[in-house]
Amino acid sequence: VLPRLRPEADMPALIAIKDGAVVAHCPALENLGSKSDGTIEPRAVEEFLDRAGVLLRDPPAFEDLCRIRPEEMMLLENMADERAAAGAAVVEPDPEEFYNCGVEGCNKTFHHEHVGLKTDQQDGLLVSQEDAIGDSYCMPCEIDT
């Protein structure tokens, strides 16, 4: 349980946590330095942490803190093997199975159109001209006068 601290009076604060429990706290950094000039005394912080039982004078090796546990390593290897097996099972479709939309390099296998690209197979319009203006469109007639 975190100590009850008042943001307007107790901050900043130093809280010592050991094995997931608060073992000591220092509201407003009391007795850790000079309030008048706003400095913190490193020796006072070290003493506070030592009395709280959270100061490690000889920290563990980096490898001990950051190593991957054997069960995690096995899980990672298993996931990699499954991914590799799934990748090997993917079969690329035959080139004859691709839909020919008229756009070079397009390998989609289903019927589709590319908006804005005019090809022999499509006009490239979002809405075809027939759908937009219908069959009854007539060019303006020129009237001879």
The one-letter amino acid at 119: T
User: What is the C-alpha to C-alpha distance for residues 33 and 44, in angstroms, rounded to an integer?
Assistant: 7
- CB neighbourhood size of 57 (10 A): 6
Q: Do 29 and 50 contact (CB within 8 A), yes or no?
A: no
Q: Do 18 and 52 contact (CB within 8 A), yes or no?
A: yes
Highest mean pLDDT among 7-16, 81-90, 117-126, 134-143: 7-16
User: What is the C-alpha to C-alpha distance for residues 48 and 21, in angstroms, rounded to an integer?
Assistant: 16
The one-letter amino acid at 114: H
* pLDDT tens string 58-115: 888 877 777 777 888 888 899 999 888 887 665 665 656 667 777 777 777 777 777 7
Q: Degrees (nearest 5) of the Cα angle 10, 16, 19? A: 140
User: What is the C-alpha to C-alpha distance for residues 114 and 99, in angstroms, rounded to an integer?
Assistant: 12
The two three-digit tokens of residue 26, written as one number? 């220092």
pTM higher than 0.75 for the full model?
no
User: What is the C-alpha to C-alpha distance for residues 39 and 33, in angstroms, rounded to an integer?
Assistant: 6
Pick the closest to residue 47 from 14, 8, 70 (CA basis): 14
